[in-house]
Amino acid sequence: MANPGELRIDRATSDDVPLLAEFNRQLDEDEPHPDPLTLSALTERMARWVATGEYEVLLLRRGARVAGYAAWRPEDRGTYIRHFFICRDQRCQGWGRAAMRLLRRDFFPQDRPIQIEAAIGNAAGIAFWRALGFQDFGLSMELKAGAPPK
């Protein structure tokens, strides 16, 4: 199981963008999106986030090994985690829980609520957030503007 002391969190740099885009592609597989972006669009967006700080992108590392990544930013309503991803071969060993503990201690404002959105079909993701103490808050819904009106 995870030894939390082994985990380190570093700010991503432009060198990390290809790896992060590939992780983002895997995340989109794990939490299917109705309109997934192509790898090149994911790469472009990730490069922008890293370059501009639109989101703070953080790599989760265990020594030389990358365990996953997170992308977050402060918003009006609280700390919004846009992406949270643990590498497939390192899941269910406590690394996600350990990473959230470090993020809360070292990165996130202490006085703001932390918010996430999970796709309704992402049972593992939802179970993870609930196990960490997150409470159900809202339900996101969507409709294509061009769909026939009902």
Ligand X SMILES: CC(C)(COP(=O)(O)OP(=O)(O)OC[C@H]1O[C@@H](n2cnc3c(N)ncnc32)[C@H](O)[C@@H]1OP(=O)(O)O)[C@@H](O)C(=O)NCCC(=O)NCCS
Query: Which residues of the chain form contacts with ligand X (CB under 6 A)?
Result: 27, 30-31, 84-86, 91-97, 116, 118, 122, 124-125, 127-128, 131
As measured in angstroms, the least distance from the Cβ of 7 to ligand X is 11
Instruction: State the Cα–Cα distance between residues 121 and 30, nearest whole angstrom.
Output: 10
Instruction: State the Cα–Cα distance between residues 97 and 23, nearest whole angstrom.
Output: 18
Nearest residue to ligand X, by Cβ distance, number only: 96
Q: Which is nearer to ligand X, 30 or 56 (CB)?
A: 30
As measured in angstroms, the least distance from the Cβ of 129 to ligand X is 7
As measured in angstroms, the least distance from the Cβ of 94 to ligand X is 5
Q: Which is nearer to ligand X, 35 or 111 (CB)?
A: 35
Q: Are 114 and 108 in contact (CB under 8 A)?
A: yes
Q: Which is nearer to ligand X, 14 or 137 (CB)?
A: 137
Q: Which is nearer to ligand X, 41 or 127 (CB)?
A: 127
- Per-residue DSSP letters for 31-98? S--SSPPPHHHHHHHHHHHHHH-SSEEEEEEETTEEEEEEEEEEETTEEEEEEEEE-GGGTTSSHHHH
As measured in angstroms, the least distance from the Cβ of 112 to ligand X is 19
